[in-house]
A and B are shown apart, each in its own frame.
Chain A
Amino acid sequence: MNALITTALLGVVLMFTGLFVKNKQQIKYIAILGALLAFVANIVDLQTISGGGSKVLFGMLEVSHFSILFNAIAIGATLLYFILCGSAFEKVGEHVADYFALIFFILAGITMTGAFSNLLILFISIEILSIPQYILAGADKQNLKSNEASLKYFLMGSFSTGILLMGIALIYGATGTFNVTEMALGTGELNPMALIGITLLGFALSFKVSAAPFHFWTPDVYDGSPTVFTAFMATVVKAAGFIAFLRLFHVTFNGGNMSSHWQLVLAIITAATLIIGNFTAVFQISVKRMLAYSSIAQAGFMLFGVISLNQLAVQGIMLYAIAYSVGTIGIFAILLKMKDYTFDGFNGLAKKQPFVACVATIFLMSLAGIPLTAGFFAKYLVLSAAIQQGNLLWLVIIAVLCAAVSAYYYFRVIIAMYFKQGDANVENVTPGFKVALFVTAAIVIILGIFPGLLLQLI
């Protein structure tokens, strides 16, 4: 609740900052301070909850350990993002303060995804985190690719909103309430109207998290948007989509034999996402586009958390959110320093910038799920949650095979950096940037060795 208020207010503050502060570096520092403030305010919320969680705003939101931990992950990842990529904002356009303000508004939406206890708040939070993204995708106004990304994202996003709303309306028709806990869909006979509603909600949320076959907008949007905003859209926002997905399906559409109705559909979506994401990523020549497909592939792994209805899945998706967000933000921060986004652009980076290449290797290994990095335990937890759930073994086998495929395209970058001759064109790397990269890599390694540090918090 505190996090929601602070992030929304900070958005307004940052908009006015653009009027009074002309120095772009100073705006960045104000945004970093603001993110720190939001982080602290979110932690302070821990005092207000008692037991499982406390309802606020007339029962519209439920503040719990789950929501506070996810807010901490999202705001913390945004803080890292501001520190690592904040300087790149001014390359996109003049209105740096507005971009920061929009990101704070997105964060305000994100803080509600883990806490909603009413379908109205689900809808509002998904819209709050989507609409600023349409603007950010088109921030590079003169660039046709950016225009296309923005238009495509906008049309697809509002289309999926329409489907989401139809789902909510049909569920309301069947149950007579918007409250996710009062619905009790699991008890008694299931109304066909509710079943259609659940399917539509599942499809709409798959759209938002870019799961196949609803992923077709993702590569164009992520590739066309300014790189610095792709880094945010593909990480924190996507993780928030999954948290909303998980909360809705674990809390509302659970109990009785409810889950048998949607589990198979989601399992097929997961398999398709894994296969399409990984196999298409192999054929890319641009690292940015490869990362767009990799985000689809990682979405497939995160969907395991939604399908498996147990505590292990919740822990897994939390660890996955942080491992994936931090790793991808790190690799995007390095990509932003490159002049050439193709794989060949990375040739010989290790000779020129040994430290940057080493850190990039850590991030890529985490994304591929190599042991001793956070990505390994994240994949391990979501997959073991699926095994614990039972009857999903076939899906786990597909996932493991796809993880092996993913190693190929992540390691292509590492091979280009270390074993290929070339003249990688890098912008000057400041010592401050190196320290920030070091901290980011340290988070990845520490969570890879002691995942319990995070997991005990749930």
Chain B
Amino acid sequence: MPIQYYIFLSIALFCIGIMGVLMRRNAIIIFMCIEMMLNAVNLLLVSFSKMWADAGRVDAGSAQIFVFFIMVVAAAEVAVGLAIIVMMYRNSHSVDVNLLSRLKN
């Protein structure tokens, strides 16, 4: 399959993620959209890795290693992020990101 398909799919996923972050108000959904952006990048990196391997580059596997690093960092981010959301839920009984700006005043 041509590489363009993969690029368009990744860009589409990435844009859905961005739109979600900008438009949704629920902290968990924003968080899921961010994860979707990261996974779009993973898909793109893997397909580029294949593309460069077909083009004859011997070090094309490095992009796949990069994907593992992204997964590990994303897992660390999930650990911290969910803890932050739980902390917020305990104090305000809501995960709405707009609520906080109202409450603090």
Contact = CB atoms under 8 A, between A and B. Distances in A.
B48 A169 contact: yes
Interface in A120-160: 120, 123-124, 127, 131, 134-135, 138, 141-142, 144-145, 147-148, 150-152, 154-155, 158-159
Interface string B76-105: 110011011101100110000100110110
Interface string B22-52: 0000010011001001101100110010011
Interface string B14-26: 1001100100000
Contacts of B17: 162
Contacts of A166: 14, 37, 40-41, 44
Main secondary structure on A side of the interface with B: helix
B8 interface: no
Given A162-B14, A163-B37, A176-B55, 6 more contacts: A131-B76, A154-B77, A155-B97, A162-B17, A162-B18, A178-B63
13 contacts: A131-B77, A134-B84, A141-B91, A144-B92, A150-B88, A155-B21, A155-B30, A161-B73, A162-B17, A169-B10, A172-B45, A173-B7, A176-B55
Contacts of A162: 14, 17-18, 34, 37-38, 41
B67 to A, nearest CB: 10
A178 B21 contact: no
Contacts of A224: 104
A172 B80 CA distance: 29
Interface residues of A, number: 35
A169 B34 CA distance: 16
Nearest to A148: B100
A159 B100 CA distance: 19
Contacts of A120: 62, 65-66, 69
A177 to B, nearest CB: 7
A154 B66 contact: no
B66 to A, nearest CB: 6
A184 interface: no
A166 B43 CA distance: 11
Contacts of B41: 162, 165-166, 168-169
A172 B48 contact: yes
B42 to A, nearest CB: 9
Given A131-B80, A162-B38, A169-B44, A138 B59 contact: no
Contacts of A131: 76-77, 80
Nearest to B21: A159
B82 to A, nearest CB: 10
Nearest to A196: B11
Interface in A266-298: none
Nearest to A182: B59
A159 B92 contact: no
A145 B77 contact: no
Contacts of B100: 144, 147-148, 151
B27 A151 contact: yes
A142 B87 CA distance: 9
Contact of A144 (B18, B34, B63, B103): B103
Contacts of B48: 169, 172-173
Given A127-B73, A162-B17, A176 B57 contact: yes
- 5 closest A-B pairs by beta carbon, nearest first, are A162-B37, A148-B100, A165-B41, A173-B48, A169-B44
A155 B37 CA distance: 13
Contacts of B101: 148
A62 to B, nearest CB: 17
A134 B79 CA distance: 11
Given A155-B21, A169-B48, A124 B84 contact: no
Interface string A289-312: 000000000000000000000000
Contacts of B85: 151
Nearest to B30: A155
Contacts of A145: 104
Nearest to B65: A120
B87 A150 contact: yes
A144 B21 contact: no
Contacts of A154: 77, 80-81, 84
Contact of A165 (B27, B70, B97, B103): B70
A155 B31 contact: yes
